[in-house]
Amino acid sequence: MIKFNEAELRENYQGTLALRPGIEAAVDKFYEEGFDSIWIFGTGGTWATGVQAEYYMRGKCSIPVYVEQAGEFNVTGNKRLTDNALVLFTTVTGTTGELITAMETIRKTKAKVIGFVDEPGTPLTKLCDVCFSWPHNSQIKFWMVLDRIQYLHGDFPDYDKFYAQLDAHLAQGLCDIEKQADEFAHEWAKKKVEWMKENKDMPHYFIGAGPAWGNTYSTAMCYWEEMLWIRTKSISAPEFFHGTLEIIEKDTPVTLYLTEDEQRPLEERVARFLPRVCERYTIIDTKDYKLEGIDEEYRGRISHLITRCVNNRIEAHLEVETRHPMEIRRYYRQFPY
């Protein structure tokens, strides 16, 4: 399998989960001191992770969660922010300009900040009360914070059982999903790239709902547009029916995510609609992927990790089939703007 080192991947997941005692210590302390709201800051993919996190909390916990695109915060501010806020952010490079500016503002308040900065020693590591540095898996990191808050708030009594299962099985389970998805992804990427020869301008449509929406948005924008230079449009499943449906035709390429959270019915509605008008659609259904050792009832909390594994395989093969190295950027950070 290309671009897949199972041992390394498993170890990376396991190392992420191993951050949990440190996260619990920080969250427990801040919860004890009291906070009135949770603020997640990001840009692009990390903002999308925040959006996803807000959806995740919405139906589960009464503590307000606000998501701030850092660039927007820097010009608009937010009058709802108080000194009693708990602030979270995640960044790979630790150097994102908008986020540095936003955190400099935040540090002038009494708000508490938990930062996840993949790259140790970078500017953003210095702009938090507690900083964790371990590469990748920003979603698992955020979820550990949010699940702990749910637990402390009385909204997740199963917390210990859930994380015992993740600690024991998630890392291998996610590796196995990539292996299970690889052949499908390879065939799919070959067909897609062949078809794109005659259809290079046609955007690929991505549809997902709620806790899967952040993933859907960032797959379209951060992976396909930014790293593969393929046109896309992402739209949430319930919003799809209020406009975008009208430009789906027989030959329009669509990927729909079916997940196992409470918004699945919204995604299923799209799944019923698509075959009536389109034949070039793909459904990625997390139910098709086993996660050994993790109870059925918990899968909705982590379906977005399953879709990311499948997407990883598709992108690995698209990278080869398009002969487009995912590292290269045409404009981003290439010249000042």
Phi and psi at residue 169, in whole multiples of 5°? -130, -20
Structure token digits, residue 204: 């690929």
Indicate left, alpha or beta for 229 from its phi (over 0: left) and psi (-120 to 50: alpha). Answer: left
Q: Smallest distance, Å, CB 19 to its own copies?
A: 25
Nearer to its own copies, 162 or 240 (CB): 240
Name residue 234's beta-bridge partners: 206
- Asked if 153 and 35 touch (Cβ cutoff 8 Å), the reply is no
- Select the residue interacting with its own copies from 203, 282, 288, 321 (CB under 8 A): 203
Q: Decide: is 69 part of the binding site for its own copies (CB under 8 A).
A: yes
Q: Decide: is 62 part of the binding site for its own copies (CB under 8 A).
A: yes
* Residue type present at position 144: M
Task: Name the nearest CA neighbour of 94 among 149, 54, 133.
Answer: 133
Structure token digits, residue 40: 């997640």
- Asked if 125 and 36 touch (Cβ cutoff 8 Å), the reply is no
Name residue 40's beta-bridge partners: 67, 88
Report how far residue 285's alpha carbon sits from residue 259's, in angstroms, rounded to the nearest whole number.
Answer: 6
Subset of residues 228 to 287 that bind its own copies, contact rule: CB under 8 A: 229-233, 235-236, 238-239, 241-248, 262-263, 265-266, 269, 272-273, 276-277
Q: Decide: is 210 part of the binding site for its own copies (CB under 8 A).
A: yes
Q: Decide: is 61 part of the binding site for its own copies (CB under 8 A).
A: yes
Subset of residues 29 to 58 that bind its own copies, contact rule: CB under 8 A: 43-45, 47, 55, 58
Report how far residue 71's alpha carbon sits from residue 75's, in angstroms, rounded to the nearest whole number.
Answer: 7
Site size with its own copies, rule: CB under 8 A: 67
Q: Smallest distance, Å, CB 187 to its own copies?
A: 24
- C-alpha triplet 99, 101, 103: angle, nearest 5°: 65
Report how far residue 213's alpha carbon sits from residue 79's, in angstroms, rounded to the nearest whole number.
Answer: 27
Structure token digits, residue 162: 């859930």
Q: Decide: is 214 part of the binding site for its own copies (CB under 8 A).
A: no
* Site track 282-321 with its own copies (rule: CB under 8 A), x = hit: ----------------------------------------
- Select the residue interacting with its own copies from 7, 32, 79, 296 (CB under 8 A): 79
Nearer to its own copies, 13 or 116 (CB): 116
**Residue 107 CA, distance from chain mean position:** 26
Q: Decide: is 323 part of the binding site for its own copies (CB under 8 A).
A: no
- Asked if 41 and 97 touch (Cβ cutoff 8 Å), the reply is no
Give the range of 103-111, 158-166, 287-295, 328-336 binding its own copies by CB under 8 A: 328-336
Give the range of 100-108, 282-290, 309-317, 323-331 binding its own copies by CB under 8 A: 323-331
* Site track 143-172 with its own copies (rule: CB under 8 A), x = hit: ------------x-----------------
* Residue type present at position 5: N
* Site track 102-131 with its own copies (rule: CB under 8 A), x = hit: ------------------------------
Nearer to its own copies, 44 or 123 (CB): 44
Report how far residue 226's alpha carbon sits from residue 324's, in angstroms, rounded to the nearest whole number.
Answer: 11
Pairing of strands 112-117, 85-91: parallel
Nearer to its own copies, 13 or 224 (CB): 224
Q: Decide: is 184 part of the binding site for its own copies (CB under 8 A).
A: no
Report how far residue 267's alpha carbon sits from residue 264's, in angstroms, rounded to the nearest whole number.
Answer: 5
Binding site for its own copies (CB under 8 A): 43-45, 47, 55, 58-64, 69-72, 75-80, 98, 155, 199, 201-203, 209-210, 218, 221-222, 225-226, 229-233, 235-236, 238-239, 241-248, 262-263, 265-266, 269, 272-273, 276-277, 329-332, 335, 337
